[in-house]
Chain A
Amino acid sequence: MSDAAPAFSVQGLGHRFGSRRVLKDVGFEIAAGDFTVLLGLNGAGKTTLFSLATRLYAQAEGTIRVFGIDIRANPSDCLRQIGVVFQQPTLDLDLSVEQNLYYHAALHGLSHRQAKARIDAEIPRLGLADRLHDKVRRLSGGQRRRVEIARALLHQPRLLLLDEPTVGLDIESRQFLLDHVRGLCREEDIAALWATHLIDEVGEGARVVVLHKGEVLAAGSAVQVLGDNRPAAMRAAFEALVREADTA
């Protein structure tokens, strides 16, 4: 593994569901410590990209590399570096927060002691210390998402993939998650790919990849891609990009 290699790089990635093409020649890179927003409307191909990057779907066209390692050649080493928060909730509702976390830690080969140390480190930062023994069913949507973020970090990944993590959450929970993940990028040098269709989640200093109908329309800093970093101006620029692609 090379530290000079990008945390995540995609080249010429394509995918089809039968005859329907959902990703076409997708390519972009994320450096360590970058917070990158994968911006696209519903149906743009964001979830397909995540499914390919996590080996839920087999990839037929192009390459995906995690810190320089080809995921197809060495899925195990790649998956060890990746923490994932899926769009769909994936916690076991009938188990407690702690039981869900220990389960995930075991799936990554962590010992009980290592898992406990990691849980003790992550859970208080996410404000869940007093909910550790509660069943997940009793938690609010925002709290469940926070547990999923803590879980994704347990095995100390260096790349975090988050697929629309704020769907269905109130403004306060959304902001909390965004601040937390951006803090992780800044302070712990974790690279994050944050998929969303909400332009106001882009924020200052973020990098942006605009995905539309399975193709990358633009990639770069928010200012480079959208010409501004104020939400209203970014929204107008995004809509213009999409319109231009649709009429082309």
Chain B
Amino acid sequence: MRPIHYLRCLAGIVTREGLRFLNQRGRFFSALVRPLVWLAIFATGFQFVLGVSIIPPYQTYIPYSVYIAPGLIAMIDMFNGMLSSLSMVYDREMGSMRILMVSPLPRWFLLTAKLLAGVIVSVVQSYGFLAIARLWDIAPPWYGYITVLPALVLAGLMLGALGLLLSSAIRQLENFASVMNFVIFPMFFASSALYPLWRVKEASLWLYYVCLANPFTHAVELIRFALYGSVEPNSAAVLVAATAVFLTLAVYGYDPAKGLMARRVAD
């Protein structure tokens, strides 16, 4: 197998993911509506409850809606990562996963290609959200729309890799509800998406450390800084490391000889 075969395979997986996304218009709208509901209702209701002082990267006092916008973009990435994980579990139950797995290309490549395809869908949705969010005066500088791209990709990779890892561990589709309860909600609330970390620190020191250790916090912060043209190197490093760990474990999980695939059939 030569590099061109790898490229064709990647293009095929990305095209399929894109077609599935276009076919499921409901998925696109719900992915947009969810953060918009937070922006239009939650942020409006809370703007007088939660004061946000001047913190980097912002140079002035900002409305609460501006503060939570990066967290809502990361939320889009997280839901996409989990949805792609859900679709892997669905594919496995429905059998179409077998077609992916009998490709002669190495399994690590197939899973990485699947991950990249999901990230592309996430990025498109994030830009869709950013465009609509202008109606709520979420207006980063023009260059922010360019500098945020690598942050969106990195955050998408980390959350997608987490989704892949979960999909290798989830036995049945029904168990997906617990992913909502035990992964999505805790990761979202124990992060800097809705409140700045200095506020969390004032309220509870242990929660502050939990938030700091949460890779989702770093996804939010990387996107927040990138929207204003700056880089948050610690967050970038955490995301790279977390992506590597999650993806390695997912590839292990899908290895027929070692991981959970072997153990699952043994049960």
Q: Which A residues form the contact surface with B (CB < 8 A)?
A: 16-18, 54-58, 75-80, 82, 84, 86, 88-92, 94-95, 99, 102-111
Contacts and interface: CB of A to CB of B under 8 A. Distances in A.
Of B13, B102, B255, most A-chain CB atoms within 10 Å = B102
A94 B106 CA distance: 27
Contacts of A89: 94-95
Interface string B251-267: 00001111001100111
B20 A109 contact: no
A84 B255 CA distance: 20
Contacts of A92: 16, 20, 96
Interface of B: 1-2, 4-6, 8-9, 11-13, 15-16, 19-20, 23-24, 94-96, 98-106, 110, 255-258, 261-262, 265-267
A106 B104 contact: no
B16 A80 contact: no
Contacts of A91: 96
Contacts of B5: 108-109
Nearest to A91: B96
Contact of A55 (B8, B96, B256): B256
Nearest to A151: B99
A55 B102 contact: yes
Contact of B23 (A55, A56, A95, A109): A95
A99 B17 CA distance: 11
B103 A107 contact: yes
Contacts of A80: 104
B68 to A, nearest CB: 34
A110 B104 CA distance: 12
A76 B96 contact: no
Contact of B105 (A76, A103, A110, A111): A76
A18 B267 contact: yes
Contact of A109 (B4, B16, B95, B101): B4
Where chain B touches its partner, the secondary structure class is helix
A229 B167 CA distance: 48
Contact of B101 (A56, A77, A105): A56
Given A79-B102, A84-B102, A94-B20, A109 B8 contact: yes
B104 A95 contact: no
Q: Which 6 A-B pairs have CB atoms at the shortest separation, nearest pair first?
A: A106-B12, A109-B5, A58-B257, A88-B95, A107-B103, A58-B256
Contact of A102 (B4, B15, B99): B15
Contact of A77 (B9, B102, B104, B106): B104
A105 B12 contact: yes
Nearest to B14: A106
Contacts of B258: 58
B102 A56 contact: yes
B102 A57 contact: no
Given A99-B16, A107-B9, 16 more contacts: A57-B256, A58-B255, A76-B104, A76-B106, A86-B98, A88-B95, A88-B98, A89-B95, A90-B94, A95-B23, A99-B19, A103-B16, A106-B9, A108-B9, A109-B105, A110-B8
A103 B261 CA distance: 24
A77 B103 CA distance: 10
Contacts of B2: 109
28 contacts: A18-B266, A18-B267, A54-B98, A54-B102, A55-B256, A56-B101, A57-B261, A57-B265, A58-B255, A58-B256, A58-B257, A79-B104, A90-B95, A90-B98, A91-B96, A92-B16, A94-B23, A99-B16, A99-B19, A103-B99, A105-B12, A106-B8, A106-B12, A106-B15, A107-B103, A108-B104, A109-B1, A110-B8
